[in-house]
Amino acid sequence: MTNTDRRPPDADLVKVLFYPNDDFYTTPETLWAKPLGDDTYRILNSPFFFYGVSFEDTVRAAPVSDGMLEFREVVERSGSSTYRIMVREGVEQEQFDSFWKPLSELGCTLERAKGRFYAIDVPPNADLDRTTTLLANGETAGVWDWEEGHRHGQPKASLTRPRRRRGDPG
């Protein structure tokens, strides 16, 4: 399966800690980020468990007692959106690829958490309605289950009502 690792070898990168902002996920996660100054950072990968943040968003973070940078707020949106998929058991690579290809052609990229769980970055210029239709098609065909992590232009919906699908990772 396609795996885009957006963690370039760069000595200037830091990790920013995100605590779950949903009752379903309990896993804190760290995302790679580039310092921009004034306690702001550009996020360089897609979140798997946190809602309301996407690839290349600029966030504010502050060091806590152990020195770890902890997320405080989104300062500027990149225009990207985040979705997540859990590939169903028994799905062959060829079947996955046939449903992933149209998403890839829209400019979407994948990051793999573990096993069958992926975060999808949808770039700012991609058609979000088309993207969600393609995700729904994969679900209907039994390839994956999916949810919305952040849909650009509708951040409150993403933060307050995550879209849960059957077979959610957890």
* Judgement on whether residues 71 and 86 belong to the same structural domain of the protein: no
Contact 110, 120 (CB under 8 A): yes
Q: In terms of domains, do 70 and 134 share one?
A: no
Q: Which of 76, 93, 122 is the last residue of a domain?
A: 76
**Pair (107, 70) in one structural domain:** no
pLDDT range class, residue 10, cuts 50, 70, 90 = low
Q: Based on the domain organization, do 72 and 102 belong to the same domain? A: no
Closest alpha carbon to 43 in 71, 68, 63: 71
Last residue of a domain, one of 31, 53, 76: 76
List, for residues 71-81, the tens digit of each pLDDT value.
999 999 999 99
Q: How far apart (Å, rounded) are the C-alpha atoms in residues 155 and 93?
A: 33
**At 139, which helix (H) or strand (E)?**
helix 128-140
**Per the domain annotation, does 3 fall within a domain?**
no
pTM of the entire predicted model: 0.82
**What is the pLDDT at residue 168?**
43
Domain identity same for 65 and 85: no
Structural domain for 46, as ranges: 14-76
